[in-house]
């Protein structure tokens, strides 16, 4: 709406934009009988551009070609090496250039991304700013993609040593969750996704935490193929309940930021080794230790959290953790959270609060405490 003041000396423009997207669980997404992948913003159309993790290319190309051929749609593939160290402006540019060469309609020929969380983030960002926004369908193939990246509207690439420094809030019209990809997923990438599930359990879902305590080892060994239905449903539901009312982060106190205060710095300092969920797991341990140091979280609860992380084959500590680096992380997050720490800390398992008064000394103490607990777990492992 346009409001012009009487003397035509000023104008106010207001509008609302509707965001509307689907998350759908199916099996066999590339079975031609599933028509989900044909979804477009408008009419069916005749061209598709498919960006796929290069590690999955050989495995799925025939099925995808057959899928689109059955539906009279031509497609082109762009295999991309989708590790954290490639989540940068060069890969972004490469994808945009390939899009230029292929040529797609802005609205009715959605690009399709098939891959893990890293690739979903990159392509989501391409989709949000190529021609100021084109349609996109996301097909996560990792647990991290499935219970995290494909659920929200955050896109991004790393830049200048900072994680996701450049990005957007931009919804992909459709996100298709198909667990059959997990069959060929390396165990480490199953474990990686578990980091984000534990996060949700600690901050808002004690019931989910109990389920994890009982079943997580079984689920990981089975790669969630026939197990863990309830865990995945609860994790998705929990995550969406947190994201949906605050899609654009108008409220900067976000429970889902738990595990995301120190992790970004660790990831960027060990980019070729550490996966996102692993960094989140370490951050969960450190933040929970900090919560104990602040007198918020009881020791037995802290131990339970660290034990679950450890039982889930996730790391609880990282050699690059120093008070100085962790303090830098807090300062960086303070800018990102507009001047306040807004650090989510668990109160008990299943409930969290926000604090703004963490001091350097407390970070030092939390690190010492965690180092101690992690060392004990390590020697217990060695004695087994």
Given the residues 17, 97, 154, 334, the one annotated as active site: 154
Taking CB under 8 A as the binding criterion, the range among 95-103, 111-119, 181-189, 304-312 that sits at the site for a second copy is: 95-103
Contact, 42 vs 173, CB < 8 A? no
Q: Between β-strands 136-140 and 351-355, what pairing exists: parallel, antiparallel or unpaired?
A: unpaired
CB of 298 to a second copy, least distance (A): 32
Taking CB under 8 A as the binding criterion, the range among 91-99, 112-120, 188-196, 209-217 that sits at the site for a second copy is: 91-99
Closest to a second copy by CB, 104 or 377: 104
Selected from 31, 76, 83, 168, the binder of a second copy by CB under 8 A is 168
Q: Counting contacts by CB under 8 A, is residue 260 touching a second copy?
A: no
* 285-315: burial string, b at 16+ Cβ within 10 Å, e else: bbbbbbbbbbebbeeebbebbbebbbebbbb
Taking CB under 8 A as the binding criterion, the range among 56-64, 101-109, 220-228, 375-383 that sits at the site for a second copy is: 101-109
- Comparing C-alpha atoms, which of 275, 282, 375 is closest to residue 329? 282
CB of 266 to a second copy, least distance (A): 18
Longest dimension (CA), the chain: 82
CB of 299 to a second copy, least distance (A): 35
Closest to a second copy by CB, 97 or 187: 97
Selected from 50, 236, 306, 363, the binder of a second copy by CB under 8 A is 236
Q: Between β-strands 162-169 and 174-178, what pairing exists: parallel, antiparallel or unpaired?
A: unpaired
Closest to a second copy by CB, 174 or 194: 174
- Print the binding letters for residues 176-215 with a second copy: x by CB under 8 A, - otherwise: ----------------------------------------
- Comparing C-alpha atoms, which of 103, 34, 119, 122 is closest to residue 71? 34
CB of 373 to a second copy, least distance (A): 33
Contact, 180 vs 217, CB < 8 A? no
Q: Three-class SS of residue 70?
A: helix
Q: What's the rounded Cα separation, in Å, for the pair 367 and 365?
A: 5
- How deeply is 339 buried, as exposed, middle or buried, from its count of CB atoms within 10 A (0-12, 13-18, 19+)? exposed
Closest to a second copy by CB, 189 or 337: 337
Closest to a second copy by CB, 121 or 301: 121
For residue 200, how many other CB atoms are within 10 A of its CB? 26
Closest to a second copy by CB, 231 or 370: 231
Known active-site residue 233: no
Return all residues near 322 (Cβ < 8 A) that are at least 6 apart.
Answer: 367
- Print the binding letters for residues 315-344 with a second copy: x by CB under 8 A, - otherwise: --------------------xxxxx-----
CB of 29 to a second copy, least distance (A): 14
- The alpha carbon of residue 207 and the mean position of all alpha carbons in its chain are separated, in whole angstroms, by 22
Taking CB under 8 A as the binding criterion, the range among 63-71, 150-158, 207-215, 287-295 that sits at the site for a second copy is: 150-158
Tokens for 368?
């010492």
For a second copy, the binding residues in 2-31 under the rule CB under 8 A are 2, 4, 8-25
Q: Tokens 């131990």 map to which residue?
A: 303
Q: Counting contacts by CB under 8 A, is residue 72 touching a second copy?
A: no
Q: What's the rounded Cα separation, in Å, for the pair 366 and 360?
A: 10
* # residues contacting a second copy (CB under 8 A): 71
For a second copy, the binding residues in 104-133 under the rule CB under 8 A are 104-108, 125, 128-133
- How deeply is 165 buried, as exposed, middle or buried, from its count of CB atoms within 10 A (0-12, 13-18, 19+)? middle
CB of 158 to a second copy, least distance (A): 12
Return all residues near 192 (Cβ < 8 A) that are at least 6 apart.
Answer: 142, 143, 144, 275, 276, 277, 278
- Which residues are catalytic, by number? 154
């Amino acid at each position: 709406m346009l409001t012009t003041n009487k003397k035509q000396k000023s104008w106010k423009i207001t509008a609302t934009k509707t965001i509307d997207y689907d998350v759908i669980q199916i099996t066999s997404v590339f079975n031609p009988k599933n028509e989900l992948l044909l979804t477009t913003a408008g009419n069916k159309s005749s061209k598709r551009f498919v960006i796929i993790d290069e590690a999955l290319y050989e495995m799925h190309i025939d099925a995808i070609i057959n899928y689109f051929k059955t539906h009279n749609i031509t497609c082109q593939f762009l295999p991309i090496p989708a590790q954290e160290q490639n989540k940068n402006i060069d890969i972004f540019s490469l994808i945009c250039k390939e899009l230029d060469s292929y040529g797609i309609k802005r609205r009715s020929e959605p690009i399709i991304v098939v891959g893990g969380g890293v690739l979903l983030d990159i392509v989501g960002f391409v989709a949000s700013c190529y021609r100021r926004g084109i349609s996109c369908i996301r097909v996560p193939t990792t647990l991290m993609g499935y219970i995290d990246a494909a659920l929200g509207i955050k896109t991004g690439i790393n830049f200048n040593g900072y994680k996701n420094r450049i990005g957007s809030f931009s919804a992909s019209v459709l996100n298709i969750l198909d667990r059959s990809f997990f069959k060929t997923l390396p165990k480490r990438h199953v474990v990686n996704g578990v980091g984000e599930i534990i996060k949700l359990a600690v901050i808002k879902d004690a019931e989910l935490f109990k389920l994890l305590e009982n079943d997580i080892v079984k689920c990981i060994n089975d790669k969630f193929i026939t197990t863990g239905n309830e865990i995945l449903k609860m994790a998705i539901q929990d995550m969406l309940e947190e994201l949906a009312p605050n899609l654009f982060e108008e409220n900067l106190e976000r429970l889902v930021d738990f595990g995301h205060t120190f992790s970004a710095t660790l990831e960027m300092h060990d980019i070729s080794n550490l996966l996102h969920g692993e960094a989140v797991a370490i951050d969960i341990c450190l933040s929970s230790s900090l919560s104990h140091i602040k007198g918020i979280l009881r020791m037995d609860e802290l131990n339970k959290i660290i034990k679950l992380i450890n039982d889930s084959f996730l790391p609880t500590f990282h050699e690059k953790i120093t008070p100085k680096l962790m303090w830098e992380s807090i300062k960086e997050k303070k800018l990102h959270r507009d001047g306040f720490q807004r650090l989510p800390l668990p109160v008990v398992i299943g409930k969290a609060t926000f604090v703004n008064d963490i001091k350097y000394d407390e970070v030092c103490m939390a690190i010492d405490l965690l180092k101690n607990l992690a060392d004990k777990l390590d020697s217990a492992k060695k004695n087994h």
